[in-house]
């Protein structure tokens, strides 16, 4: 089927895999032939025959292809040094920059695998003056596109190259997520717009008037950029909000819009990200994405979007396949499309998945680039099969690599910063792009996985691929689907995107690859253990788990256990139970934080043998002392049968009574007392 047959009159949901692949090949050829600085050149004219979302994806892809990718990652200690490092981006190259932390930095570095990992010292602080701070951010964008901040604005820099941006980034220097804003503006070629007025926090709900004020403010900022934005496919088609705001609003839609969904489901809040980018009649002129959080995580989310490939897809189906309504959202069709387009598709769990299989699969963490999952439930649980079995936020996988998430599930993103919600835990664990619902969405509020797959394989940006478009059969009017991340991020087929990296070693900072070699030599004579501790932490950062564990054994023999928390992650990812337990026993009470206890449970619980097996005793003793809060009844109910078989029913009752005494709320006490009857 030729490209002329693949115009927007043919819905994506009906395209066969062969048509998708034909479009992929054409789209890639176009992206290679059209310079990012000249999107309106004669070479670009064939792209006008493509549907608008594919054209938008190509525009984003062209910018990515236009600048060399330097094969290094630079770690900085603070936001001022982060800006200083980003200011080195230019038309001659760019590279990932992360504000170093203990969780997200290792995940990114392990996936990106840079030839060189550099750590910088602080350059000092940022200006307190808002105007001066904004100028620093704008200067990064200007330099990245070859302009001179002393003489040019962002707009003048773009105009000098006949470049038209595909989106606008809205942020505030009062909000920590500006670290994502400046990276995405410079990396994607977008203007920065400033919105300082408070509009709540991510778990909040706005009233109609406040939401209307937010929408009008964003619309005004887009209009101020003086680009065409009235319809999809013109110039501005994407809005990136990099700041805190409420994730939903009690917005009074006209009755005609409410009527698209039958009562009583049409009552309730609407996702802010789905209200933005709409005309007066609520049809689209743009799609939005949203990044929030502290400076380190916001920077991480931007860098993942800009620099990581999305090649491996993990899929999990919990829906019954013998019921048509649920079967339409199963994974088999999507897996076929993605495999045919060259992605590596993993479906390791039975379909539909059961609780025992899920618990076993948690050991060692999830290594994938994208997770696509369907399930039922609420914000604080997800059902694992129609025959029973349930997961909780604590059962969300530990991620080896950063993940883009498509989660068909009710309520998951109602409180996206609450770690005791399903969506909040996925985000906390490292999802940098996510699609989920902030309220009851109805199943057809979501795009089915096979349609998502066809769109992603056809260069449609991920967040846009995950929403129904105007006139399609699902719910395309303002609805409850929250889109978190960069709206211009693509997930194109791996074979179509082969961007070589440029070897260009940095001549500044500390090369951690060389540093760890020196530390390993120093450790032979260093009696303090400082050299071994630092070496192990760097090896964990580099993803060199085997060597990290071997060094840990030496450190443990010397009673030098300061590196235990770092090597705990290495032992978990390697699935080494023996070394994990040895490391766990060396941890201080303070180091046994929420994530460490999740590591313990994920590695050990699913591997327990039958309750009567004596080999369980050592594991059970660790798990009993690591019952997680809040809601200790979840762990106790799972662990109880094993404890009773191993140590007797009285022991199980003692554990429950101890937790009842510690419980601070009546609901938890009641749930624990209910468990007593089982022992």
Q: Which domains does the chain have, with CATH numbers?
A: 3-66 (no CATH), 510-587 (1.25.40), 608-676 (no CATH)
pLDDT, tens digit, 9 for 90 and up, residues 439-454: 999 999 999 999 999 9
Share of the chain above pLDDT 70, in %: 92
The fraction of the chain above a pLDDT of 90, given in percent, is 81
Q: So what's the pLDDT on residue 645?
A: 86
Look at 100 and 50; give whichever has higher pLDDT: 100
The count of other CB atoms within 10 Å of the CB of residue 593 is 12
Question: For residue 118, which phi and psi values (nearest 5 degrees)?
Answer: -110, 140
Q: Across residues 79-85, what is the average pLDDT?
A: 98
Average pLDDT over residues 623-636: 96
For residue 49, the model assigns a pLDDT of 73
* Pairing outcome for strands 431-437 and 403-408: parallel
647-674 pLDDT, tens per residue?
888 998 999 999 999 998 999 999 999 9
pLDDT of residue 623: 95
pLDDT at 262: 78
Q: Are 237 and 56 in contact (CB under 8 A)?
A: yes
Least trusted range by pLDDT, from 319-323, 347-351, 481-485, 579-583: 319-323
Instruction: Name the least confident of 66-75, 423-432, 636-645.
Output: 636-645
Query: In terms of C-beta density within 10 A (0-12 exposed, 13-18 middle, 19 or more buried), how is residue 250 classed?
Result: middle
What tokens appear for 196 in the block?
A: 């300082």
Q: What is the pLDDT of residues 325-370, one digit of tens each?
A: 899 999 999 999 999 999 999 999 998 898 999 999 999 999 999 9
Helix, strand, coil shares of the chain, percent, nearest 5, are 45, 15, 40
For the cut 60, the answer to whether the pLDDT of residue 19 exceeds it is no
Q: What is the pLDDT of residues 190-231, one digit of tens each?
A: 999 999 999 999 999 999 999 999 999 999 999 999 999 999
Q: Tens of pLDDT along 508-545?
A: 999 999 999 999 999 989 889 899 999 999 999 999 99
Show contacts of 660-667: CB within 8 Å, 24+ apart: 662/632, 663/632
Contact (Cβ atoms closer than 8 angstroms) between residue 6 and residue 15: yes
Check residue 256 and give its pLDDT: 79
Contact yes or no for 474/444 (Cβ under 8 A): yes
Residue 37's pLDDT band (cuts 50, 70, 90): very low
Q: 136 with 127: CB under 8 angstroms? A: yes
Range with the poorest average pLDDT among 286-295, 573-582, 595-604: 573-582
Q: At what angle do helices 295-307 and 178-188 cross, to 10 degrees?
A: 20
Tokens standing for residue 280: 């007066």
Question: What's the mean per-residue pLDDT of the chain?
Answer: 91
Q: Which pLDDT band holds residue 45 (cuts at 50, 70, 90)?
A: very low
Nearest C-alpha neighbor of 678 from the set 655, 652, 659: 652
Pick from 12-26, 68-82, 311-325, 477-491: least confident: 12-26
Mean pLDDT, residues 58-63 taken together: 95
pLDDT bucket at 22, cuts 50 / 70 / 90: low
| Residue that wins the pLDDT comparison between 494 and 48 | 494
Consecutive H or E run containing 584 = helix 577-586
Is residue 383 within 8 A of residue 373, CB to CB? The reply is no
Would you say residue 267 has pLDDT above 90? no
Task: Determine the pLDDT at residue 342.
Answer: 95
Instruction: Please tell me which of 37-41, 277-281, 555-559 the model is most confident about, judged by mean pLDDT.
Output: 277-281
Q: Would you place residue 35 in the very low, low, confident or very high pLDDT band (cuts 50, 70, 90)?
A: very low
* Res 608: pLDDT: 84
What gap in Å lies between CA 431 and CA 413, rounded to an integer? 13
Beta pairing, strands 481-484 & 431-437: antiparallel
Query: How many other CB atoms are there within 10 angstroms of residue 149's CB atom?
Result: 17
Q: Model confidence at 2, in pLDDT bands (50, 70, 90)? A: very low
pLDDT at 610 over 70: no
503: CB partners within 8 A, 6+ apart: 71, 115
pLDDT at 33 over 50: no
For helices 666-676 and 632-647, angle between their N-to-C axes, nearest 10 degrees: 20
Least confident range of 264-268, 298-302, 482-486: 264-268
106-158 per-position pLDDT tens digit: 999 999 999 999 999 999 999 999 999 999 999 999 999 999 999 999 999 99
Contacts of 229 (CB under 8 A, 6+ apart): 222, 223, 235, 236, 237, 285, 286
Residue 607 pLDDT: 84
């Amino acid at each position: 089927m030729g490209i002329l047959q693949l115009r927007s009159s043919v819905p994506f949901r009906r395209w066969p895999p062969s048509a998708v692949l034909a479009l992929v090949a054409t789209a890639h050829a176009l992206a290679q032939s059209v310079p990012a600085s000249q999107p309106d050149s004669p070479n670009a004219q064939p792209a006008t025959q493509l549907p608008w979302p594919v054209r938008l994806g190509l525009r984003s892809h062209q910018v990515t292809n236009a600048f060399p990718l330097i094969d290094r990652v630079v770690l900085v200690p603070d936001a001022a040094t982060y800006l200083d490092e980003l200011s080195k981006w230019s038309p001659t190259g760019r590279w990932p920059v992360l504000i170093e932390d203990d969780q997200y930095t290792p995940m990114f570095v392990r996936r990106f695998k840079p030839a060189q990992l550099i750590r910088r010292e602080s350059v000092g602080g940022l200006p307190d003056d808002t105007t001066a701070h904004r100028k620093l951010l704008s200067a990064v964008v200007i330099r990245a596109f070859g302009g001179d901040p002393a003489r040019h604005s962002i707009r003048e820099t773009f105009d000098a190259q006949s470049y038209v941006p595909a989106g606008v980034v809205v942020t505030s220097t009062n909000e920590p997520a500006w670290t994502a804003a400046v990276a995405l503006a410079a990396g994607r070629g977008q203007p920065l717009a400033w919105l300082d007025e408070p509009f709540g926090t991510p778990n909040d709900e706005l009233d109609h008037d406040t939401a209307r004020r937010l929408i009008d403010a964003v619309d005004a900022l887009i209009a101020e950029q003086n680009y065409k934005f009235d319809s999809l496919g013109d110039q501005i088609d994407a809005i990136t909000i990099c700041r805190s705001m409420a994730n939903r609003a009690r917005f009074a839609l006209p009755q005609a819009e409410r009527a698209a969904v039958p009562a009583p489901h049409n009552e309730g809040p609407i996702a802010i990200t789905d209200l933005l980018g709409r005309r007066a009649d609520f049809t689209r002129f743009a799609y939005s994405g949203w990044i929030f959080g502290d400076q380190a995580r916001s920077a991480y989310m931007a860098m993942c979007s800009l620099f990581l490939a999305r090649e491996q897809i993990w899929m999990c189906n919990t829906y019954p396949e013998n019921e048509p309504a649920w079967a339409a959202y199963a994974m088999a069709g999507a897996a076929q499309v993605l495999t045919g387009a060259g992605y590596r598709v993993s479906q390791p769990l039975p379909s539909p998945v059961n609780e025992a299989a899920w618990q076993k699969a948690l050991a060692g963490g999830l290594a994938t680039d994208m997770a696509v999952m369907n399930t039922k439930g609420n914000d604080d649980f997800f059902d694992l099969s129609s025959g029973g079995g349930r997961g909780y936020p604590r059962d969300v996988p530990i991620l080896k690599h950063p993940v883009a998430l498509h989660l068909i599930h009710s309520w998951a993103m109602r409180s996206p910063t609450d770690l005791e919600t399903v969506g909040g835990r996925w985000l906390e664990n490292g999802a940098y792009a996510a699609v989920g619902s902030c309220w009851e969405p109805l199943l057809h509020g979501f795009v089915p996985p096979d349609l998502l797959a066809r769109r992603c394989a056809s260069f449609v940006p991920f967040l846009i691929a995950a929403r129904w478009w105007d006139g399609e059969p699902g719910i395309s009017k303002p609805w409850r689907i929250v889109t978190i991340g960069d709206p211009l991020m693509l997930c194109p087929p791996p074979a179509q995107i082969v961007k070589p990296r440029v070897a260009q070693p940095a001549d500044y900072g500390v090369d951690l690859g060389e540093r760890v070699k020196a530390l390993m030599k120093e450790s032979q004579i260093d009696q303090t253990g400082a050299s071994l501790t630092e070496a192990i932490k760097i090896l964990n950062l580099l993803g060199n788990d085997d060597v990290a564990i071997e060094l840990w054994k030496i450190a443990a023999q010397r009673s030098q256990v300061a590196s235990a928390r770092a090597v705990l992650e290495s032992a978990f990812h390697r699935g080494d139970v023996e070394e994990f337990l040895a490391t766990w026993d060396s941890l201080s009470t303070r180091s046994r934080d929420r994530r460490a206890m999740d590591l313990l449970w994920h590695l050990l619980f699913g591997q327990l043998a039958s309750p009567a097996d004596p080999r369980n005793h050592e594991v059970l003793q660790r798990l009993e002392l690591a019952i997680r809060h809040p809601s200790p009844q979840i762990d106790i109910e799972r662990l109880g049968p094993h404890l009773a078989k191993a140590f007797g029913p009285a022991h199980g009752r003692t554990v429950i009574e101890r937790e009842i005494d510690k419980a601070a709320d009546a609901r938890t006490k009641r749930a624990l007392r209910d468990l007593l009857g089982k022992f």
